[in-house]
Amino acid sequence: MQNPNATQGMLDADGPDTVRLSAAEAAQLGEAALQRVGYSGEDARIIVDQLVDNALCGYKFAGLPRILAIAGDDKTSKTRTPVHVVNETPGSALIDGGNNVGYIAAYRAAEITIDKVRTSGMASVGAYNSYYSGRNAYFVEKIVKAGYVAMHVASAVPRVLPLGGKRPALGTNPICFGFPSQDGPVIIDMGTASLMWGDVLLHAHIGEPLPEGVGFDEDGRPTRDAAAVIKGGVGTFGGYKGFGLSFAIQALGLLAGAALTRGDVQDYGFLFWAVNPSIMLPGGEFEKQMSELVRKVKATPRQPGVDEIRIPSERAYRERERRLKEGIVIERKVVDSLKAL
């Protein structure tokens, strides 16, 4: 654990209510907590590897606090079966997640996606009967590092109000794109909700108010009280454009088998589409062109006061490298809750 008096100039500040952990210490804490809620061995390591990486990349809500959400979900206490393929072609697969948390089901789906693209050039892989898959970019980065272009969407249970609605009807429904380049993966990952649900849960747990205009109580009235928003929901980003994109992702979740679990069209579905760029552009031209595109966008003349034009995923990668050296700052209340599970 880092010395709190030696954190000047570090990426994250320490406080009386925080704890600084190395990546290894965070992983150890997470695996111990997961064992107490029924996940152990390789499954626990798969979950924690993503949670720690999320924290390293600067997504505090998507780190170890997500174990508290897993522990509090009634699906965690129900019977789980191994993830398995229920329908398959050379270029596609449909996966039953076996009621395992999505960190595991989507991880297996990403592995199968890589295998399918390697042999067929393209792949469409869906997973259902699961929940909480975490950060889309984590899975897509693995596919891109294998050399492939990828898109991943995740539909979910209703947490988001449709435009003009009083009650939730859509999931937080993130979408992610990934592209290989000569300089490494380029990942664009975004939720279609105005605030991701994990962030709402974290705010409620530590008692902090939400930003203005993103949350609604159970009667559809705007509120900053995260506990009230848990009983209600959040809005989509960008008005009708965000609503339209969120609706499309909910529909794509059906293609991943979302309705097969409980017969409900508003449920979890994880869909991966990927292609080997060489079947479109032989000779490795795509990776070269992607690097050139990044360079040209970053070289755009900047407005006054702007130091840099930053490409999506640049911040996360930079911060990952720093936190691997400096450690991860976590709320002490979260650490205590994990130890008390």
Q: How many CB atoms lie within 10 A of CB 128?
A: 26
**93 DSSP β-pair partners:** 88, 125
pLDDT tier, 5 (very low <50, low <70, confident <90, very high otherwise): very low
pLDDT at residue 284, as a whole number:
79
- CA–CA–CA angle 164, 170, 172 (5° rounding): 110
- Angstrom distance (rounded) from CA 40 to CA 154: 25
pLDDT at residue 6, as a whole number:
53
For the packed helices 65-72 and 197-206, what is the interaxial angle rounded to 10 degrees? 100
pLDDT at residue 9, as a whole number:
83
Tokens standing for residue 31: 């695996």
pLDDT at residue 88, as a whole number:
98
- For the stretch 259-275, pLDDT in tens is 999 999 999 999 999 99
pLDDT at residue 61, as a whole number:
83
pLDDT tier, 7 (very low <50, low <70, confident <90, very high otherwise): low
pLDDT at residue 202, as a whole number:
83
User: Is pLDDT above 60 for 3?
Assistant: no
**For residue 116, which phi and psi values (nearest 5 degrees)?**
-65, -45
- For the stretch 147-190, pLDDT in tens is 999 999 999 999 999 999 999 999 999 999 999 999 999 999 99
- The stretches of 18-81 forming alpha helices (DSSP H) are 23-36, 41-56, 65-72
- CATH number for the region 79-194+235-279 comes to 3.30.1370.60
- Pairing relationship of beta strands 186-190 and 175-179 according to DSSP bridges: antiparallel
- For the stretch 299-318, pLDDT in tens is 999 999 999 999 999 999 99
Average pLDDT, the chain: 94
**Closest-CA residue to 10 (of 324, 335, 332):** 324
pLDDT top residue among 69 and 142: 142
pLDDT tier, 2 (very low <50, low <70, confident <90, very high otherwise): very low
- Distance between first and last Cα of the chain: 22
Tokens standing for residue 136: 């889309």
Q: Which segment, 9-13, 60-64, 140-144, 191-195, is predicted with the most confidence on average?
A: 140-144
- Angstrom distance (rounded) from CA 76 to CA 80: 8
Q: What is the DSSP string of 106-164?
A: HHHHHHHHHHHHHHHSEEEEEEES-B----HHHHHHHHHHTT-EEEEEEE-SS-BPPTT
* Residue 35 DSSP class: H
- Pairing relationship of beta strands 122-128 and 92-96 according to DSSP bridges: parallel
Right CATH for 4-76+326-340 from 1.10.3470, 1.20.1440, 1.10.1740, 1.10.1530: 1.10.1530
Q: Indicate left, alpha or beta for 41 from its phi (over 0: left) and psi (-120 to 50: alpha).
A: left
pTM (2 d.p.): 0.91
SS3 state of residue 238: coil
User: Is pLDDT above 50 for 109?
Assistant: yes
Average of pLDDT values for 113-133? Answer: 97
Domain ranges of the chain: 4-76+326-340, 79-194+235-279
